[in-house]
Amino acid sequence: MSEVPILKETTRSTGREALRNNITAAMALAGAVRSTLGPLGQDKLLIDDEGRTMVTNDGVTVLESAKVEHPVANMLINASTTQDRIARDGTTSAVLLSAELLQNAWELVLQGVHPSAIARGYRHAEEACRNHFENLVIKATEKHMLAAATTSLSGKIHQAMQHHLAALAVQAAKAVVEQRPTGPLADPTRVKILTQTGGSMTDSSLVTGLVLAKKRVSDRMPKQMPSGKIALVDGGLERRELMSNVKLNVSSTGVLESFRQKEKTVLLEQINHLVDLGVTLLACKEGIDDDLHAALTDAGIQAYRRVSRSDLDLLARGTNATLNHDVKGLTASDLGVFIQSSNERWNGVMHWIVETEEGGATFIAKGSTNETVGEVERCFADALGVACQLLEEPALLPGGGATQIALARHLRRFAEGFAGREQLAVEAFADALEIIPRTLAQNAGLDPLDTLLQTVAKQTTDGGKNAHFIGLNVEKKRPADMVEDGVVEPLRITRQVLAGATEAALSVLRIDDVLWAKKDPAAPEIPEED
């Protein structure tokens, strides 16, 4: 019986050919962001389909903005996106490490080592690294926290702005930290970011509390409110509209007037309900009827309408209030407490500032252009994520490639305990870790190999308990004590880089068959007739 071609509409590559193609795609992706790593990394100019431009040094921004079709490249981009979501930094390192792990695995495959043996060795190496972290970690102080936030901004903006944004990020993280039974929790989403075009980047500031570009519904309402109770309504104070299939026949003007008065009476009853509960501040997702402005003012209630759901959620978390669908359903337990509510005009726009007991902060990002403001916003978000991590887990590792070199040295000793081919994979993992200091040196204009050897020798000959602090200081262009120089990064970042890069590399190594479905030819465009 002859074979029936069941995959006749599919292009197929198997075995080494499939692995080689996948690794080539991974190396090409890593090459696109390699030059952005480190404080002396280069920027990328991104241009979208509509001609809009963006200049950035953020690896995940570059990768997510690129149009990538190869599935393996998309797998690495997903790993980078996960790194950004969990750790807020280390996205470029994750891509470089995963690509280098694949490149080293390919060298072993050419020597006859099966991908399964390589995968087992990589798993052992990752576990050894995680177990060795406890020997490298240092406890974070407030000074170290500021240094780590500054390190996360290295190469993204100029040095003066790095310190400014790092200080604001640490201050914002402290404003939103909560003490839970399981430990401190610092949620960066509780920090609202407002963007304003105009001025310089150094004009960016932090306001304790929530700031919204909103004005009170009536200028007669108090401009400032002292401490009181706040009600949050996931609706509005408006007249209800009739159903689309309902017709109302009015026989006289008196009937219509009484109908309108009844509607107003129902709305006034809701305001009386707010007064009985002691509400002095009201925020609604939808509108507030114009006829109620005077009644709210007379009741001493400061009211805001058309507040977005996301802002209502932030208000609820800051004031410990509960969102309710209508005013009638509000109870005393649904109300929150605020410290002060005020209104200020910034650059011709009225802003509402709410100070809350549970903490909260608003970052005002400023810059001369929209592109500059966008970069300030992204940089602050990165620094804020690092600061929040350190409040939750105050553990740091030395930067400048010092941790990767120390882990590589440990792995080479660890590999000696394997009698099988996994030993080669563990050594390949150690070699891959050194891609970080080599790339840092290359981006700083130094010889990657010579600089790496000097740093390794410095760590080895130092011999002290802090030998693993020695890394590459690209500003001094020589090995130095990274902790002393203030170049540190959270443990969570490096831990996630190792986990994400290893998992991405192993996912690619397990692929030995790639099936590409043939695409139908696109219909040719018909030229328009003159």
Give the closest residue to 204 by CA, choosing from 356, 373, 50. 373
In what helix (H) or strand (E) does residue 268 lie, and over which residues does it extend? helix 253-277
**Residue keyed to tokens 């970052």:** 363
Q: Does 518 have pLDDT greater than 70?
A: no
3-state secondary structure of 447: coil
- Which homologous superfamily is 210-358 in? GroEL (3.50.7.10)
Instruction: Give the catalytic positions in this structure.
Output: 58, 91-92, 382
What is the C-alpha separation between 435 and 161, in angstroms, rounded? 28
Q: Does 521 have pLDDT greater than 60?
A: no
> What DSSP state is assigned to residue 88?
S
Q: What is the pLDDT of residue 412?
A: 96
Q: What is the pLDDT of residue 530?
A: 45
Q: What's the per-residue H, E or C state across 344-362?
A: EEECCEEEEEEEECCCCEE
pLDDT in tens, 440-484: 999 999 999 999 999 999 999 976 788 999 999 999 999 999 999
Q: Provide the whole-model pTM.
A: 0.82
pLDDT tier, 259 (very low <50, low <70, confident <90, very high otherwise): low
> What DSSP state is assigned to residue 263?
H
Q: 511 is written with which tokens?
A: 């692929």
User: What does pLDDT average to over the chain?
Assistant: 88
pLDDT tier, 409 (very low <50, low <70, confident <90, very high otherwise): very high
Q: 341 is written with which tokens?
A: 């509510």
What is the C-alpha separation between 374 and 382, in angstroms, rounded? 13
Q: What is the pLDDT of residue 371?
A: 84
Give the closest residue to 318 by CA, choosing from 280, 363, 359. 359
What is the C-alpha separation between 101 and 82, in angstroms, rounded? 18
Q: 524 is written with which tokens?
A: 């040719």
Are 470 and 485 spatial neighbours (Cβ–Cβ below 8 Å)?
A: no
Residues facing residue 179 across a β-bridge: 184
What is the C-alpha separation between 38 and 34, in angstroms, rounded? 10
> What DSSP state is assigned to residue 527?
P
What is the C-alpha separation between 273 and 123, in angstroms, rounded? 63
pLDDT tier, 520 (very low <50, low <70, confident <90, very high otherwise): low
What is the C-alpha separation between 301 and 275, in angstroms, rounded? 8
Are 94 and 436 spatial neighbours (Cβ–Cβ below 8 Å)?
A: no
pLDDT tier, 357 (very low <50, low <70, confident <90, very high otherwise): confident
- What's the chain's length in residues? 530
| Residues sharing a CB contact under 8 Å with residue 486, sequence separation 6 or more, in sequence order | 144, 147, 150, 151
pLDDT in tens, 94-151: 999 999 999 999 999 999 999 999 999 999 999 999 999 999 999 999 899 999 999 9
C-alpha distances in angstroms, 52 versus 49, 166, 192, 198, 224?
7, 29, 26, 19, 41
Q: 395 is written with which tokens?
A: 């553990």
Q: What is the pLDDT of residue 2?
A: 44
Q: What is the pLDDT of residue 9?
A: 67
What is the average per-residue pLDDT within 362-385? 90
Q: What is the pLDDT of residue 524?
A: 45
Q: What is the pLDDT of residue 346?
A: 83
Are 140 and 393 spatial neighbours (Cβ–Cβ below 8 Å)?
A: no
Q: 74 is written with which tokens?
A: 């998309």
Q: How many CB atoms lie within 10 A of CB 389?
A: 28
* Percent share of the chain, pLDDT over 70: 91
pLDDT tier, 89 (very low <50, low <70, confident <90, very high otherwise): confident
Q: Does 526 have pLDDT greater than 60?
A: no
Q: Does 324 have pLDDT greater than 70?
A: yes
What is the average per-residue pLDDT within 381-393? 93
C-alpha distances in angstroms, 171 versus 146, 199, 206, 219, 318?
10, 22, 8, 33, 17
What is the C-alpha separation between 72 and 512, in angstroms, rounded? 12
Q: 287 is written with which tokens?
A: 């509108």
- Listed by start position, the domains of the chain span 10-139+397-517, 210-358
pLDDT tier, 4 (very low <50, low <70, confident <90, very high otherwise): very low
CATH level 2 (architecture), domain 10-139+397-517: Orthogonal Bundle (1.10)
Instruction: Indicate the range of 117-131, 261-275, 387-401 predicted with least confidence.
Output: 261-275
What is the C-alpha separation between 447 and 343, in angstroms, rounded? 57
pLDDT in tens, 136-189: 999 999 899 999 999 999 888 888 889 999 999 999 999 888 888 888 989 898
What is the C-alpha separation between 301 and 335, in angstroms, rounded? 14
Q: Does 515 have pLDDT greater than 80?
A: no
Q: What is the CA radius of gyration of the chain?
A: 30
HSE (CB half, 13 Å, CA atoms) of 520? Answer: 3
Give the closest residue to 274 by CA, choosing from 352, 330, 224, 325. 330
Are 327 and 181 spatial neighbours (Cβ–Cβ below 8 Å)?
A: no
pLDDT in tens, 214-232: 999 999 999 999 999 999 9
Are 471 and 455 spatial neighbours (Cβ–Cβ below 8 Å)?
A: yes
3-state secondary structure of 427: helix
Residue type, 515: L
Buried b (16+ CB within 10 A) or exposed e, 160-173: ebbebbbbbbbbbb
Q: Does 11 have pLDDT greater than 80?
A: no
